[in-house]
Chains A and B, each alone.
Chain A
Amino acid sequence: MNTTISALHPVEAAKPISGALARLLEQNRTRYNARVGQTKKHFPRLDDAKVAAVLRELVQPLVELVDQYAADKTGSVTDVYFDLALELCGRGILGDSTRYPFIEFAWQTLLPSLTPLIVTAPRTIIGSITNAVYTLSCEPSANPMYWLTRLRQAAPLLSDVSTLLKMGQVTAWQTGMAHYRQPALTLCQSLSPALLKIAFGMSTQQLTMEQIVAIMAANPWYQPAVPDAYPQLRIVKCAGAFRGFGGVFMAPPTVYASGDTFVASDGTSTWLLHADAFGATFHRTQGMPRAESTASAFGFKVITGKVSKNQFTVDFPELETVSSIAANATTLAVTTPWSHTISLISVC
């Protein structure tokens, strides 16, 4: 992630820390200094200026909000913010030159809207949000910005910590974490329609939420935000890329079916491919599946670039020469000797 979102400028002439945070730092000077000392033992390169900037730019406004909302909780929440700020600065996750700018963005934009929940379980919420954005930042298929936007939108509707965490999980699936699909579908049952609507990125809604979830469970390529009135056999996703371009494959892969998922191999490594309308993720695995059923078993036919299923037939010139074909009930996966991507074809 090269995007620079951070507004931190640690070395410029900085305003002193003020308000509730300044008061607490003053009151607990010895304790906080001890924590800085401890953290420095573990992270010798921890930069005081960077910590000061993070406290001033990120933590101070958050502590101020907590102080306004529940003054009696300011101390305990500040402890958590302080500890996490130190730890994350030590790991190079917060502060300038971070490789995870969305984490700072989450602290700046999402955490303020979660203040009423943060005072009830500070470490759980701040830590979970931070970890979630980190996880999303590490997954090329995911979009942390969408995740943050949707969660911020949902914040007024989040009544408790558990709901927030479930909402985060469902939204993570919707913003690219395809391997969370099955458990996230289960979690959908415990979220309100209003929250699901936000998680699915829907502006309008014609079906009930139960119906939408049922369709999504049956068809991984269904997008509730973009309901397609005209079903067609099409390439729904191109998954994977050459390792030199940020992908996982050293050589053009071959693909195999493994239940509802696919297994892809470049001859050196093997990967599990989870794909649906919202993303495609690869996870390293070991061994190869047994050759189970052929594509034709699921009604797919591929003849020199011409793909057909049921009443649909479409010509895909780029798939004229195939190196491997695999299918499950909804999706056909095709590879060619000339490409590092896996073409996923479905009717939607």
Chain B
Amino acid sequence: MPKPQEYQHVSAAPTLPKTTPTTTAFDVADLYKGPVTNVETAATIGVPLDEKLRQAYFWIINYGVISPHYDIEYNDGASQTFTFGDSKAQLRLPSGQSYSSFVLVPLLNFAVRKRCLLVGGPGRGKTASAILMGVLAGYSVKEVRRGMQHGQPQMTISDLLGNPLPADLVNAQKMQDIRISWRQWLSMRVKVIDEYNRIPTRTQSALLTVMGDNYAEILDHIYECPDAAWYLTANDDAGGGTYQVIEALRDRIDVVVKALHFNTRFISELLQRIETGVDPADVVPEQIIFTTDEIERMTKEVLTVKLPNGLRRRLEFFASQFEFCEMAGEQIEYKTKDTSRLAAVDVHSLLAQDTGKDKQRDLGAQTKNGLSVRAMMTTMVFAKALAYFRGNGEVEFEDLRQIVPFVLHEKLLPDLDAPFFDAPGNSVLRVDRISWIRKLFDLSCAEYDRQNLDNDDQVGQIEDEFDNGLEGVNEQEVRQRMIKIERLLTGWSKDRKLYGYMFDDLLKLKYLHQRYTNYLHWLTTKS
């Protein structure tokens, strides 16, 4: 953590320097570079938004939230690792620019305007972090505080959304005559719900509508909310709130980040805050405050970041591991964990019946559910956001690997009784969900590499062939392609156990076969 400096100091660009060829051209704008930092001249007005986002990150890290952690690790070449204690705890010294998830993930959420849950014990800076996000969006601290919804057991829908005007309630002849006084926070571009697990269940449903569908409804009146970045906080997300969080609401949360502990070596900074009496949120420099247009532009720019095909394929392979449950159905399409969930049958017991497979290798055996479409979409959006934050136009492997645990934290439920967790060294993963998901991803990638799928993806080849279109493909060619699919299925049925990643491949092959069948039928009818 750098030494305390003036709150108005913003890290000088470039915050993540990249090697660029030496140039002999001089920029006349350099005249205005000097000891006074944060001078907005014509040259700096157009500072790229990813750079501004990084400057915001470093300002928060330096002055806003004391989070001297670097748990999102990047390496630029070799790095050193040290091992301590009987548990062989490892300390890695990353050789690249690394980040604190507690600051970075909410900031990425700000950039893509999704829904972020901050969990952790009291006094860890969850609310402070959420308030800073509101200030970054251009609101004053007062506005953010007033707009913040504090979860409490007596909270009603009216408390959350607004009230019909009393005079109208008496005089109105029809519903449309009743005017609604909507709560101000609904119009904000950063929405903060403090201790959301203390909100009564009925009010949670109203919140779900706002979070999920971006509108509020009272007495047939609709209020359309603007796109916003959401921040929800909870002291304990494992049922420790006053009310059980409804599953649909939990599912709407896109990313979860845990407030890490306070490092007591930084008490001097607390002392400094006490002595100076300055709340960092009050002194956020203007240079890192985003306008509405900038936020919208930033979101669009994030989405233009490319996800290379090879990386997308790895994500597909990873995501395909979890939904399959061989004993959950007879017909292959129904052999899913969702089938067992709908039938209220314990997934663990079904997985336990599934004998003959290597339970350590079968990643699907570690989870109680599969990944939803929303989870996969969110993973890709946040991977793009992380790449964008790092100034890249393309997602890199490490971006995906680092962000997956935070997105899937609430989406992928571990089966804590799975044999995997009984293996030596794995019991700690029952508790540390971030590390567990990262381990899952690493194991999936190792299997992907072992199968050499980057170079030898037979389903991918068949898929590519189909994606070229059926225009002009003759009957003979179609038959050959169908035979190819059938041969592949024959080979698999002889040689392999049925693992999760094969499940989606089988269904894909069935899909392709069916499309060819229909096409063949059309061809023969036509001729």
Contacts and interface: CB of A to CB of B under 8 A. Distances in A.
Q: Decide whether A and B assemble into one complex.
A: yes
Contact of A83 (B4, B8, B30, B35): B8
B1 interface: no
B36 A37 contact: no
Contact of A135 (B3, B7, B30, B277): B30
Interface string A20-43: 000000000010001101110110
B431 interface: no
Interface in B21-57: 22, 24-36, 38-42
A134 interface: yes
Contact of A128 (B3, B5, B26, B39): B39
Interface string A146-187: 000000000000000010011011001100010110111001
Contact of B36 (A35, A87, A187, A274): A87
A132 B276 CA distance: 32
B275 A42 contact: no
Nearest to A172: B31
A199 interface: no
Interface string A260-300: 01000000000010100000000101100000000000000
B35 A162 contact: no
A130 interface: yes
A199 to B, nearest CB: 13
B213 interface: no
A131 B34 contact: yes
Contacts of B27: 183
A345 to B, nearest CB: 23
Contact of B34 (A42, A86, A135): A135
A179 B28 CA distance: 8
Contacts of B33: 131, 135
A134 B35 contact: yes
Contact of B35 (A30, A87, A136): A87
Contact of A132 (B4, B6, B34): B34
Contacts of B272: 41
A86 B32 CA distance: 19
A91 B5 CA distance: 13
Given A132-B31, A134-B35, A123 B40 contact: yes
Nearest to A86: B6
Contacts of A38: 4-7, 276, 278
A93 B35 contact: yes
A84 interface: yes
B32 A128 contact: yes
Interface size class of chain A, counting residues whose CB lies under 8 Å from the partner chain:
35 or more
A18 interface: no
Nearest to A138: B34
A75 to B, nearest CB: 15
Interface size class of chain B, counting residues whose CB lies under 8 Å from the partner chain:
20 to 34
A88 interface: yes
B31 A34 contact: no
A41 B3 contact: yes
A86 B27 CA distance: 29
A131 B39 contact: yes
A165 B36 contact: no
A84 B36 CA distance: 7
A172 B29 CA distance: 11
B28 A41 contact: no
Contacts, number: 102
A279 B24 CA distance: 18
Contacts of B275: 37
A124 interface: yes
Interface string A107-140: 0000000000000010110111011101110000
A258 B30 CA distance: 22
B35 A180 contact: no
Nearest to A92: B35
Given A37-B276, A130-B34, A183 B4 contact: no
A134 B40 contact: no
A11 B29 CA distance: 38
B24 A131 contact: no
A187 B29 CA distance: 11
A93 B36 CA distance: 10
B5 A42 contact: yes
B99 to A, nearest CB: 24
A279 to B, nearest CB: 13
Contacts of A180: 26, 28, 31
B7 A131 contact: no
B32 A165 contact: yes
A124 to B, nearest CB: 5
Contact of A123 (B3, B38, B42, B278): B38
A35 B63 CA distance: 13
Given A83-B6, A88-B36, A128 B276 contact: no
A30 B29 contact: no
A136 B278 CA distance: 36
Given A34-B276, A162-B42, A168-B31, A42 B36 contact: no
Contacts of A130: 34-36
Given A37-B276, A38-B6, A258-B24, A131 B40 contact: no
Given A34-B278, A84-B36, A128 B41 contact: yes
23 contacts: A34-B277, A38-B4, A38-B7, A41-B4, A42-B3, A91-B35, A93-B35, A128-B41, A130-B34, A130-B36, A131-B35, A135-B31, A135-B32, A135-B34, A136-B31, A165-B41, A168-B32, A179-B26, A180-B26, A182-B25, A183-B26, A272-B24, A283-B26
Given A86-B6, A165-B41, 20 more contacts: A38-B6, A38-B278, A39-B6, A41-B5, A42-B3, A83-B8, A93-B35, A127-B36, A130-B34, A131-B34, A134-B35, A165-B32, A165-B42, A169-B31, A172-B28, A172-B31, A182-B25, A182-B26, A283-B26, A286-B22
Interface of A: 30, 34-35, 37-39, 41-42, 83-84, 86-88, 91, 93, 121, 123-124, 126-128, 130-132, 134-136, 162, 165-166, 168-169, 172-173, 177, 179-180, 182-184, 187, 258, 261, 272, 274, 283, 285-286
- Ordered nearest first, which 7 A-B pairs have the shortest CB separation? A131-B34, A127-B39, A127-B36, A134-B34, A183-B28, A179-B26, A34-B276
